[in-house]
Structure 1
Amino acid sequence: MGARLQPGGGLSNRRARRRSAQPMSEINVTPMVDVMLVLLIIFMVTAPLLTVGVDVESKGALPKVELPKTEAGPVEPEKAPLSITVDPQGKIFLQNTEIGFDELVPKLTAIREAGGGSKVWVRGDKDTPYGNVAKVLARIGQAGFPVTIVTDQADQP
């Protein structure tokens, strides 16, 4: 039957109890984070299982839908684009036929009015001065055509 005495007497035990009886000023958020992570996992697992769509009754038959009426005609296939080539000497070729610089706008206007191509592809040789190609592009714009410049794909390293 031994008794154990702490140094300082029983007074220090009372002070320790009073300090521990004070309310904690910190909130432990670990349980809340655990619950939130569990909810997140539940939503991530169940979200792909939800499907949105039209309920179809009677053995997979499609629901009856009345489509609107229209008077639009069939879509015509797009016409082949015109090709204009400018070589290094400054010669201009319209669909493989050499033409003069001054003939470009009248010929393109005639083609457009006759219902010809709707686009123009410009092919300029890499050694052709840009000024020559820029003049051709300006003339094509005067004729009222949208322009696409044709290039080769660069070599991959």
Structure 2
Amino acid sequence: MGASLQPRGGGGSRPRRRPMSEINVTPMVDVMLVLLVIFMVTAPLLVTGVDVDLPRASSPSLDQDNTALTVTVQGDGRLFINQTEVPLSALAARMDAITGANPDARVYVRGDEGVPYGRVMAAMGALYDAGYRRVALITQPPSGAAR
């Protein structure tokens, strides 16, 4: 009445299965491809800033500084720090709040081609009065110039 638990075909025990040690990477690759597509679609939307027509000038290009702040003077005279609008009277206080009153912070000034020169200089003067000495003007290269 007893049942035999031995495999057919001769004695010996059946080899034990070892756990699979490889990782299935197919789901991870699928997720990474989806994330890649999402970033490719959203990245161009993130670089939009304040719309301004920069004047053209032949000048050497500056080293890229990812920590620099950009002060923009738009065509209608409005001021922006990065993409946030600020009045001229609050420019120094807002810059001090952003940089922690660090006078060595790099500041780029973008002035619209149609804005009066005095408006751009008023913004630069406010920055200078606040102690910012590393201020640079941003222009576009002349037409047909190599970048």
Q: Report the TM-score, using the length of structure 2 for normalisation.
A: 0.49
Q: Report the TM-score, using the length of structure 1 for normalisation.
A: 0.46
Bigger radius of gyration: 1
Larger RCO of the pair (alpha carbons < 8 Å, separation 6+)? 2
More helix as a share of residues: 1
